[in-house]
Structure 1
Amino acid sequence: MRKIPILATLVVLVAATIMVSLGLWQLQRLHRKEALLAHYAQARSNAEEVLWPRDEAAQTDLLYRHARLTCEGVTEHSSMAGRNASGESGAAQTARCMLPDGAKALVVLGWSRQPNAAANWQGGIVHGVIAPGPRLVANPPLDGLEANAIPDPSEIPNNHFSYAIQWFFFAATALVIYVLAVMKRARG
Structure 2
Amino acid sequence: MKRLPFWPTLLVLVAVAVMVGLGIWQLHRADWKDGLLARYAAAEKLPPTAFPAVPVPDEALVFRRATGHCLEVVKWDARAGRNRQGEQGWRHIASCRTGGGEGPGMAVDYGWSRSSDAPKAANLAGAVDGVIDFDRDRVFILVADKAAPGLEASEKPSPANIPNNHRGYAVQWFLFAAVALVIYVIALRTRKAA
Q: TM-score, normalised by structure 1?
A: 0.90
Secondary structure at the aligned position of 2:29 is classed as helix
CA contact (8 A) 2:43 2:60 kept: no
Shift of 1:99: 1.9
Aligned to 1:43: 43
RMSD: 1.8
Aligned to 2:133: 131
From the superposition, tell whether residues 149 and 143 of structure 1 become closer, same or farther in structure 2 (CA, over 3 Å).
same
Secondary structure at the aligned position of 1:57 is classed as coil
Q: Which runs of 5+ in 2 are unaligned?
A: none
CA contact (8 A) 2:82 2:89 kept: yes
Aligned to 2:95: 96
CA contact (8 A) 2:130 2:143 kept: yes
CA contact (8 A) 1:77 1:118 kept: no
Count matched residues.
186
Distance 2:104 2:120 in 1: 22
* AA matched with 2:3: K
Aligned to 1:52: 51
Q: Which runs of 5+ in 1 are unaligned?
A: none
Secondary structure at the aligned position of 1:35 is classed as helix
* AA matched with 2:50: L
Aligned to 1:18: 18
Q: TM-score, normalised by structure 2?
A: 0.87
* AA matched with 2:12: V
CA contact (8 A) 1:121 1:143 kept: no
Shift of 1:39: 1.1
Distance 1:187 1:89 in 2: 58
CA contact (8 A) 2:121 2:148 kept: no
* AA matched with 1:64: F
